[in-house]
Amino acid sequence: KAGVTQTPRYLIKTRGQQVTLSCSPISGHRSVSWYQQTPGQGLQFLFEYFSETQRNKGNFPGRFSGRQFSNSRSEMNVSTLELGDSALYLCASRGPWRTEAFFGQGTRLTVV
Amino acid sequence: GQQLNQSPQSMFIQEGEDVSMNCTSSSIFNTWLWYKQEPGEGPVLLIALYKAGELTSNGRLTAQFGITRKDSFLNISASIPSDVGIYFCAAYNQGGKLIFGQGTELSVKP
């Protein structure tokens, strides 16, 4: 069974630009969550999608948004990038009625 | 808000030694998860715990769900160089969000 796949693995963007990250969950998993990981703040929850609906949201500004498609693939968008948005963005998927979250390898975003 | 306090922050040990780390909180949780993360990679699930008092093993790793439901422990026996990485505890808060401890960075000297 293929794991969680995130693309791209690395990105360099300029301040003010926007970026879209993609996540394909494990087959059969309908819940997809996104996390931001930085050395200073650790792993922080961004949002969770289930069946194309946002089910939960963390404490991030509105510049961070996401969506989920009917095949459970999810995208995360960050608009008007700031230097502080440089981080490893992780996506995780969960199976039906399960609590174990399985992570992808992450997308390393660098804002210059 | 609900927080997970993980300790120690880092450990430097000799190959072959046993390792213990723990996660505590003032809040009660129904599930504890332990992850390992290596540089440039996403966290990998090691052990999931569902019941207070539960003791679960995965090879040389053993984790326990504290009886008070406010803590969890992870032990690694006979450490080897490939155990190097950052270990995180995680649990779902009341809002259903998965929250993480600050991590324990493990270094193993051959």
Contact A15, A81 (CB under 8 A): yes
Of A43, A45, A89, A107, which to mutate for an interface test with B (greatest number of B Cβ within 10 Å)? Answer: A43
Establish if A33 touches chain B: CB-CB under 8 angstroms. yes
- Assess A4–B contact: CB distance below 8 Å, yes or no: yes
Rounded distance between C-alpha atoms, residue A105 and residue A89, angstroms:
9
Give the pLDDT confidence score for residue A96 in this predicted structure. 82
| Cα A59 to Cα A44, A84, B22, B35, B88, distances in angstroms | 9, 15, 26, 23, 21
Give the mean pLDDT of chain A: 95
Cβ contact, residue pair B33, A42, below 8 Å: no
The pLDDT-based confidence of B1 (bands split at 50, 70, 90) is low
Do the Cβ atoms of A101 and B102 come within 8 Å? no
Q: What phi-psi label fits residue A35: left (phi over 0), alpha (psi between -120 and 50 degrees) or beta?
A: beta
Span A48-52, average pLDDT? 95
Sheet holding B71-76, edge to edge: B5-7, B19-24, B71-76, B61-65, B55-58
Alpha-helical regions (H) of A42-94: none
Between A7-11, B63-67, B93-97, the lowest mean confidence (pLDDT) is in: B93-97
B42:A56 CB<8 A: no
